[in-house]
Amino acid sequence: MSDQQQQRVGGPESRGMPMLGLGTWQNDDPDQCAETVATALETGYRHIDTAQAYRNEDAVGEGIERAAVDREDVFLATKVWIDNLGHDDVITTTEDSLDRLGVDYVDLLYVHWPAREYDAEETLGAFEQLRNEGLVERIGVSNFEPEHLDQATEVLGEQPFANQVEMHPLLQQRELQRYTEDNGVELVAYSPLARGQVFEVDELTTIAERHSVSEAQVSLAWLREKGVTAIPKATGEDHVVDNWQSLDLELSDEEVDTIDGIEETDRRVHPDFAPEAWGE
């Protein structure tokens, strides 16, 4: 790791969560996944995101073990799938996740979607139990709309730590941004590169060429300027490093305004079990 990288290991943080992480969705080749996680940690990443549904928790754990980084220095998050959200299933499947990851706790546990077996009181009650037992440090939710967040807050007696949603310049989540800012919820962006569509956005290309960087770096820098944590998926070392280098990019107010002004909406994730009001 270079001296410059060592000076910014983990990158900026928000309430103890590094604002640039590695997403592992679809990184389901065990050897490749473990290698990617180890490479990311050795590059400087300190936030790794996975999920039960990704079927790679064991490989993620192998990558963490392989890297010369202490477990306590890694912010590790996973998610409970929608079939496992009954109280007892939350407990047992989370314990299984910890076993696969090879860790004693996770820094953040998410409800993956407010769908199928999700019941706010039952599901979140189990999350609280896991936190009380020291198996989970923070309770998060994913793909929640404001009404779901309100209900979760009522059940928990506090705001969830974070809400992870699809967010990028083509899906700016303005309503959720306002809600999370007003209510002290961290916003975490999955698919922050719009599954590669950011490379086709003229405004991003113009800014990228001006700074001699990639459109991916522009998108990640924009999210950081908005106070949003990003967890871009990457597999090859070149993409892992390119995303990491977004930490060196500072956008001007005018450039942020240009991206804010993009009116096109392109949601890339819309499963049939998504909330009825799914959208901006």
By annotation, the residues acting in catalysis are 54
Residue 244 identity (one-letter amino acid): W
Neighbour-count burial of 146, counting CB atoms closer than 10 A to its CB (0-12 exposed, 13-18 middle, 19+ buried): middle
SS3 content of the chain, % helix, strand, coil (to 5): 50, 15, 35
- Map tokens 């049939």 to a residue: 272
Contact present, 223 and 131 (Cβ < 8 Å) = no
Pair 141, 111: CB distance under 8 Å: yes
Q: Are 74 and 48 in contact (CB under 8 A)?
A: yes
- How many residues can be counted in the chain? 280
